[in-house]
C-alpha cells in the first residue's frame, strides 16, 4: 500500500465517521448547548473534574475554570471546534443508542455517496466509474458498520464494511443474480448516512 493509498483510506474513514456522526446529530430531540460556558458546564458534569476536562480539550485547567465562571466567553477556533465535537459526542446518549439498536435490528441505514465503483473489465457496461448512489442497507450490514465504528476499526475494516454493504444492496441486489461480483469502492467524494 503506497502513502497515497494510506491517505486516501484515512480520508474515506473520516468521511464514514463524519457521516455516522451527522446521522446521530440529526436524531437529537433537543438542541445541544451552544455557548462555550454551557458546553463547559455540560462536559464538566460528564467528565467529573476540571483537570480531566482540560486534558480532554487540550487546554489548561485555568482555561476551563475561566469558562465555567463566565470570565471567558469567546474560545479560539480550535477550542470551539473541540467543545462542539465533545459536547455532541456526549449529547443524548440514549437517543443515539436506541437509533443504533434499531438500525442493527430492524431498520438498517440509508447510505448516499459519490464515489468510484469498479465492477468489471474496461469497455463493458460494468466498467468502473464515479457514481452517485443512494441505497438502503440491511440491518445485518448496519450492525457490522456500527460495530466496526464502536470497536475503533482500522481504516480498511470500516471501509470494507461500508463497501460490502453498498455492494450487496446495490450491485448484488441482496445476493441475487450477481452474487460473486467483485466491487471496488474508492475515491469517496462525499458520503451521507441516515438512520
Helix (H) or strand (E) holding 57: helix 50-57
Taking the whole predicted model, whether its pTM rises above 0.85 is answered as no
Q: What is the pLDDT of residues 82-119, one digit of tens each?
A: 999 899 888 998 998 898 898 888 888 999 999 888 77
Any idea where the domains of the chain sit in the sequence?
A: 3-27+96-194, 36-91
Banded pLDDT at 125 (limits 50, 70, 90): low
Which residues is 184 bridged to in the sheet? 118
Residues 132/114, Cβ–Cβ less than 8 Å: yes
Q: What is the pLDDT of residues 170-187, one digit of tens each?
A: 877 754 556 566 778 888
Q: 3-state DSSP call for residue 183?
A: coil
Per-residue pLDDT at 16: 86
Residues 39/102, Cβ–Cβ less than 8 Å: no
Find out if CATH 1.10.540 is the number for domain 36-91.
no
Amino acid at each position: 500500500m503506497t502513502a497515497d493509498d494510506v491517505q486516501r483510506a484515512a480520508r474515506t474513514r473520516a468521511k464514514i465517521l463524519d457521516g455516522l456522526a451527522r446521522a446521530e446529530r440529526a436524531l437529537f430531540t433537543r438542541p445541544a448547548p451552544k455557548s462555550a460556558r454551557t458546553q463547559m458546564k455540560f462536559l464538566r458534569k460528564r467528565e467529573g473534574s476540571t483537570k480531566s476536562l482540560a486534558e480532554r480539550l487540550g487546554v489548561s485547567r485555568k482555561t476551563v475554570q475561566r469558562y465555567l465562571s463566565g470570565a471567558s466567553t469567546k474560545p479560539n477556533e480550535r477550542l470551539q471546534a473541540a467543545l462542539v465535537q465533545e459536547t455532541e459526542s456526549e449529547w443524548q446518549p440514549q437517543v443515539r443508542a436506541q437509533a443504533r439498536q434499531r438500525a442493527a435490528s430492524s431498520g438498517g441505514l440509508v447510505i448516499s455517496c459519490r464515489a468510484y465503483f469498479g465492477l468489471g473489465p474496461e469497455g463493458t457496461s460494468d466498467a468502473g466509474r464515479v457514481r452517485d448512489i443512494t441505497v438502503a442497507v440491511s440491518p445485518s450490514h448496519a450492525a457490522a458498520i456500527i460495530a466496526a465504528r464502536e470497536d475503533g476499526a482500522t481504516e480498511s475494516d470500516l471501509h470494507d464494511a461500508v463497501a460490502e454493504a453498498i455492494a450487496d444492496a446495490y450491485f448484488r441486489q441482496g445476493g441475487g443474480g450477481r452474487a460473486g461480483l467483485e466491487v471496488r469502492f474508492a475515491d469517496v467524494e462525499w458520503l451521507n448516512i441516515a438512520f
